Amino acid sequence: MSAPTVVVGTIGSDAHVIGVTLLKHALEEAGFEVRNLGAQTSPESFVAEADETDADAILVSSLYGHAEQDCEGLHERLADAGVDPVTYIGGNLAVGQTEFEVVRQRFREMGFDRVFETEADLDAVVDVLQSELRVDEQVSRSVRASL
C-alpha cells in the first residue's frame, strides 16, 4: 500500500514557515508523502496540488491572524474540483485574544475537519491523522465489500 499523500503550506499572504516546516518533518518521519507548498500559498494552489496528487489530506497553517479571510472558498473549490481530502488547519488563527473554542467553531463551519491551536503537539496531530485515514480506508473497504 502506498504512503498517504498530504499537502501542507501556509495560506494566503502568511509568511510564517517555521511551524509548517516542523509539521512536514513530523509527517515525513511518520511515513507520509508530503507536498510542502511553503509560504504564501493560494487556496487555488492547495486545490490544484491536492487534485494532481489525489491527496488524502490538506494541512493548512496560518499564524498572522487572517486565516478566516484566506481560507474563504477553499472547501467550495475542493468540491468543484471533485476532490475530498481530510482538511486540518492550525496555528494562530485569529487576531488578538479570541477564545479558541470560538475560533474552532468558525473553522469547523467553514469545512475543516479539525482545528488546532499553537500549542498543538505535532506527534498527537500525526497520530490523529493516521487513525483518521485508517478509519476512512476501513469505511471505504466495507462500502466496497457491500457492493
**Considering the rule CB under 6 A, would residue 61 count as an interface residue with ligand B12?**
yes
Exactly one of 90, 103, 110, 112 binds ligand B12 (CB under 6 A); that residue is 90
Q: How far is CA 129 from CA 34, 97, 98, 135, 139, in A?
A: 13, 28, 26, 10, 15
**Considering the rule CB under 6 A, would residue 45 count as an interface residue with ligand B12?**
no
Least distance to ligand B12 from the beta carbon of 69, Å? 12
**Considering the rule CB under 6 A, would residue 104 count as an interface residue with ligand B12?**
no
**Considering the rule CB under 6 A, would residue 46 count as an interface residue with ligand B12?**
no
Angle at Cα 19 formed by Cα 57 and Cα 44, nearest 5°?
45
Count residues contacting ligand B12 (CB under 6 A)? Answer: 27
Residue among 43, 42, 30, 46 nearest 129 (CA): 30
CB 48 within 8 A of CB 77: no
Distance of CA 75 to the CA centre of its chain: 11
- In the annotation, is 54 catalytic? no
Least distance to ligand B12 from the beta carbon of 5, Å? 15
**Considering the rule CB under 6 A, would residue 125 count as an interface residue with ligand B12?**
yes
Point out the catalytic residue in the list 16, 66, 75, 113. Answer: 16
State the catalytic residues: 14, 16
